[in-house]
Amino acid sequence: MELQSPREAAAFALSLLDLTNLRDDCDEAAIDKLCLRAQTSHGNAAAICIWPRFVAQARQILGAGHPVRIATVVNFPSGALSVGEVLHETRRAVEDGADEIDLVIPYRALIAGDEAAVTTMVESVRKACPQSCLKTILETGELKDSALIRKASRLAIDAGADFIKTSTGKVTVNATLEAADIMLQAIRDSKRSVGFKPAGGIATVGDAELYLRLAETVMGPNWIMPSTFRFGASSLLDDILAVLSGNPSVRASAGY
């Protein structure tokens, strides 16, 4: 990955973007807008990430086989639902047309020492959506401890996750480079084909580039692609489009 200019970084970030609306006030009109925003004159986002209740609507808009994939969230944001409840959410989302499932692991149970709760949840959801891309949200800002983040990463990977993701975006601390480094090292050490998704607080092309360079440092050149790396963000697209249109990015205009 050689990004020689902000425009190259912006174009690359666009191809990796899960354009997200998980606001509490999201409605059908917002989903219509999100589906349109994901298809830009500079190229498409990788996916949209939305509440389960809007999956059927998004599928009707985008149609079968659309290059913009539909991701939805389960056990979100608390990570505290029962396995049965989460399986119901997952199966319904797949029936409605979801391509990807972003699952919050039972991180509070893990903090309390219950590793089996994580394994059981991830394995169960994996079996319920065998054809879907399964991203597991670790909620690293709540795990806090580096050893616990490493353990959560390992448990999710061993249980069949296709991606490990930092955050829900609903807590005080979301994606950080420190957590990303730990998670990427866990992927590398597992020697499995698992992707990484930083989410929450990534608002500019400059922010995105920091994560891209870290991933390249840990995983090596040519590892980053939509099947191995995604950004979860709602506002990053605005800065991407500004840069691709030749305007100053938010970071640049702020004097960084």
Paired strand residues for 133 = 100
- Where is 170: in which H helix or E strand? none
CA distance 242 to 246: 6
191 is catalytic: no
Q: How many helices (H) and strands (E) does the chain have?
A: 12, 10
Amino acid at 96: D
> Considering 135, 162, 197, 239, which one is annotated as catalytic?
197
Question: In a 10 Å sphere around its CB, with 0-12 CB exposed, 13-18 middle and 19+ buried, how is residue 108 labelled?
Answer: middle
Task: Provide the edge-to-edge strand list for the sheet that holds 17-21.
Answer: 195-197, 163-165, 133-137, 100-104, 69-74, 47-50, 17-21, 231-233
Contact 16, 40 (CB under 8 A): no
- Region of 65 (left: φ > 0; alpha: ψ -120 to 50; beta: rest) is left
Contact 110, 136 (CB under 8 A): no
197 is catalytic: yes
CA distance 93 to 48: 14
CA distance 229 to 184: 10
> Considering 102, 162, 207, 239, which one is annotated as catalytic?
102
Which residues are identified as catalytic? Answer: 102, 165, 197
